[in-house]
Amino acid sequence: MSSITLDSDAAAEKMSRPRSKIAWAGLSLALLAAVTALSSGLGHRWGWWDFGGGFALLKWAFFGGLAACTVSAIGAIAARPAARRRGLGIALSGLVIGAAVAWLPWQAVQQIKALPPIHDITTDPADPPSFSAVLPLRGDHANSTDYAGPAIAVLQQQAYPDIQPIDAAVTPQGAFDIALDIVKDLGWQLVASQADQGHIEATATTLWFGFKDDVVIRIAPRGQMTRIDVRSVSRVGGSDAGANAKRIREFMRLFNERL
Summarised one tens digit per residue, pLDDT across range 174-204 is 999 999 999 999 999 999 999 999 999 999 9
Based on its alpha-carbon atoms, the radius of gyration of the chain, rounded to whole angstroms, reads: 26
Residue 200, strand partner residues: 193, 217
Please report, as a single letter, which amino acid is at residue 137. L
Say how far apart CA 182 and CA 258 lie, in whole Å: 9
Question: Residue 10: its pLDDT value, please?
Answer: 42
**How confident is the model over 150-160, as a mean pLDDT?**
96
**How confident is the model over 141-169, as a mean pLDDT?**
96
SS3 192: strand
The pLDDT tens digits of the residues spanning 64-100 come to 999 999 999 999 998 877 656 778 899 999 999 999 9
SS3 72: helix
Say how far apart CA 54 and CA 234 lie, in whole Å: 17
- Answer whether residue 16 shows pLDDT above 80: no
Question: Residue 5: its pLDDT value, please?
Answer: 43
**How confident is the model over 9-17, as a mean pLDDT?**
44
Please report, as a single letter, which amino acid is at residue 141. H
**How confident is the model over 222-248, as a mean pLDDT?**
96
Question: Residue 67: its pLDDT value, please?
Answer: 97
- Answer whether residue 13 shows pLDDT above 90: no
What contacts 167, CB < 8 A, 6 or more positions away? 222, 225, 226, 227, 228
Q: Are 119 and 206 in contact (CB under 8 A)?
A: no
Q: Across the chain, what does the average pLDDT equal?
A: 91
Cα diameter, the chain: 91
